[in-house]
A and B are shown apart, each in its own frame.
Chain A
Amino acid sequence: MRSVYISRATSVAARSLDGEMMIMSARDSTLFTLNPAGTIIWQSADGKMPLAEIVKQKICVEFDADPAEALEDAEQFVSDLASHGILVVSDSPITQPELHSKTVTRGS
């Protein structure tokens, strides 16, 4: 099975508020919100760790999910975000400029 690598698009604006990521697409200013699982995938999208590993190491551990089912959901999620220009998807590692995805957990 081929590996899928994901990287956060540099064109978006993003911030995590109370454990959920809010992302604004630069393409059309559409605002998206990611649930906690989506937020973990987004924050792990460094272009280096394959999606399957992100799911295995982070999603399954955090949410006690079935690995195969979780990966299927994650692939669909990634595909959706990529279609909006929010994630970059590649079958090889992606080099991205230094980005800092800040998280705010205060008050949660």
Chain B
Amino acid sequence: MSLMQEFGQRALDRGVPLSVQLDVTYRCNERCIHCYLDHDDHGEMTIAEIRDVLDQLADAGVFFLTLSGGEVFMRRDFFDIVEYARSLMFCVKIKTNAFMIGEEEARRLHELMVQDVQVSIYSHRAEVHDAITLLPGSLKRTVEGIRRLRAQGVKVIVANVLMMQNLGDYSGVIQLAEDLGAEYTIDPTITPMMDGDRNVLRLGLGVPQLQDVFRNSDLVGDVDEFCAPPPAMHEDVLRELPCSAGHTACYISPYGDLYPCVQFPLPSGNVRSQKFMDIWLHSEQLNDVRSITAADLPVCSGCGHVGSCSRCPGLAYMEGSMRGPSTQDCQKSYARTGIESANMRLKKAGSASPGLVQIAALLS
């Protein structure tokens, strides 16, 4: 067990929130076609409120603090937030489109010793990237921003969200990241809008496209291992927790709303009217999330993929039930292994015409 895993386990045992993502704004200079956010400002927390929240998070034991948005640099006081967070000795990670990172911003991020900066790039081709961000010239500016960060020695991670519009370009983005001295991460997940609107999911990859991605050794390493059939189910698997959401991690919106995760919009409290620790310890919703093990999932507990599936409880929640399946993850399991999930089989059976003979118990 690595030191990080050891701390993660200890945080889990003690109920300590090791990681928090704080979105400082939903405003953005880009209008990405797949974005799950509404970019209007409905009353963001002030710098004083954010400082108070950061104090509380530090007291609660939060180590990793991800500052994200919207576009973080839409806030003029963003560096005040970073500076204060670093004075509290958080390990600060930032997500940005880097469009507004000039020499001065790059220098300050270096001086503040942020852990890393994650930047979304959709394609190495401007016509594709800019058609997704809907901001002409955005790829050029983003790449310039990354170059400035790298010149200062700031670690940059290029995040490549895959959708039908940019499916063929990930090799180009990998090369671009390498040229920039940045790390690369790929994500084939499109998230429904925070308000539940699922229209953006039409942009997501289908099973044939996912199969291509999952059989690329540059992306997944050992293809045979990655795409291997799920191992035989063991009882221990059913006692496992789905993920860190609500257990050692949570998400806070620019309006102070607290959710288990950015991808799990279950309202669990608000730090404007409640103390963070009161929510963390006593929120009915968070405690409900924490009570769920794989054995409590009516469909997934009987699925052969249960031990190896990437099932996201947040996506399941947005699909209807946090104890239900996440169809997107079912598709990924199927695309990897060629074996249908229990959810897929159920849906198929449900859509078939009813049989002529139905059996029901006789009432005595």
- Do B14 and A106 touch (CB < 8 A)? yes
Given contacts A99-B87, A106-B61, contact A24 B115 (CB under 8 A): yes
- Do B88 and A24 touch (CB < 8 A)? no
Tell yes or no: A98 within 8 A of B by CB: yes
Q: How close is B85's CB to chain A, nearest CB, in angstroms?
A: 10
Tell yes or no: A95 within 8 A of B by CB: no
Question: In the complex, A20→B357 CA distance in Å?
Answer: 65
Q: How close is B214's CB to chain A, nearest CB, in angstroms?
A: 29
Tell yes or no: A100 within 8 A of B by CB: yes
Interface string of B96-117 (1 = CB under 8 A from A): 0000000000000000010100
Q: With a CB–CB cut-off of 8 A, which chain B residues contact A15?
A: 58, 61-63, 89-90
- Do B89 and A18 touch (CB < 8 A)? no
- Do A22 and B87 touch (CB < 8 A)? no
Instruction: Specify which of B16, B60, B61, B90 lies most central, judged by the most chain A CB atoms within 10 Å of its CB.
Output: B61
Stretch at the interface among B2-10, B71-79, B253-261, B298-306: B2-10
Question: Which A residue's beta carbon lies closest to that of B13?
Answer: A107
Q: With a CB–CB cut-off of 8 A, which chain A residues contact B206?
A: none
Tell yes or no: B159 within 8 A of A by CB: no
Interface string of A73-108 (1 = CB under 8 A from B): 000000000000000000000000111111010111
- Do A102 and B14 touch (CB < 8 A)? no
Please, how many residues of chain B have a CB less than 8 angstroms from a CB on the other chain? 26
Q: With a CB–CB cut-off of 8 A, which chain B residues contact A18?
A: 10, 14, 16
Given contacts A22-B7, A26-B113, contact A102 B59 (CB under 8 A): yes
Question: Which B residue's beta carbon lies closest to that of A97?
Answer: B87
Among B14, B58, B63, the residue within 8 A (CB) of A107 is B14
- Do B89 and A14 touch (CB < 8 A)? yes
Question: Which A residue's beta carbon lies closest to that of B3?
Answer: A31
- Do B16 and A104 touch (CB < 8 A)? yes
Tell yes or no: A13 within 8 A of B by CB: yes
- Do A100 and B15 touch (CB < 8 A)? no
Q: With a CB–CB cut-off of 8 A, which chain B residues contact A102?
A: 58-59, 61, 88-89
Question: In the complex, A107→B3 CA distance in Å?
Answer: 20
Q: With a CB–CB cut-off of 8 A, which chain A residues contact B59?
A: 102, 104
Q: With a CB–CB cut-off of 8 A, which chain A residues contact B243?
A: none
Given contacts A31-B4, A104-B59, A104-B61, contact A12 B89 (CB under 8 A): yes
Q: With a CB–CB cut-off of 8 A, which chain A residues contact B113?
A: 10-12, 26
Q: With a CB–CB cut-off of 8 A, which chain B residues contact A26?
A: 113, 115
Within 1-60 of B, Cβ neighbours of A (below 8 Å) are at 3-4, 6-7, 10-11, 13-16, 58-60
Tell yes or no: B92 within 8 A of A by CB: yes
Question: In the complex, A24→B113 CA distance in Å?
Answer: 11
Among B11, B58, B88, B91, the residue within 8 A (CB) of A17 is B11
Q: How close is A44's CB to chain B, nearest CB, in angstroms?
A: 15
Within 1-50 of A, Cβ neighbours of B (below 8 Å) are at 10-18, 22, 24, 26, 29, 31-33
Question: In the complex, A26→B115 CA distance in Å?
Answer: 7
Q: With a CB–CB cut-off of 8 A, which chain A residues contact B15?
A: 106-107
- Do B14 and A108 touch (CB < 8 A)? yes
Question: In the complex, A107→B88 CA distance in Å?
Answer: 22
Q: With a CB–CB cut-off of 8 A, which chain A residues contact B88?
A: 100, 102
Question: In the complex, A57→B90 CA distance in Å?
Answer: 29
Question: Which A residue's beta carbon lies closest to that of B2?
Answer: A31
Q: How close is A69's CB to chain B, nearest CB, in angstroms?
A: 27
Q: With a CB–CB cut-off of 8 A, which chain B residues contact A12?
A: 89, 113
Q: How close is B250's CB to chain A, nearest CB, in angstroms?
A: 15
- Do B63 and A22 touch (CB < 8 A)? yes
Given contacts A14-B89, A106-B16, contact A100 B11 (CB under 8 A): no
A interface residue numbers (CB < 8 A to B)? 10-18, 22, 24, 26, 29, 31-33, 97-102, 104, 106-108
29 A-B residue pairs with Cβ-Cβ distance under 8 Å, sorted by A, are A10-B86, A12-B89, A12-B113, A13-B89, A13-B90, A15-B61, A15-B62, A15-B90, A16-B61, A17-B11, A18-B10, A24-B63, A24-B115, A26-B113, A26-B115, A29-B155, A31-B7, A33-B6, A98-B87, A99-B87, A100-B88, A100-B89, A102-B59, A102-B88, A102-B89, A104-B16, A104-B61, A106-B15, A106-B16
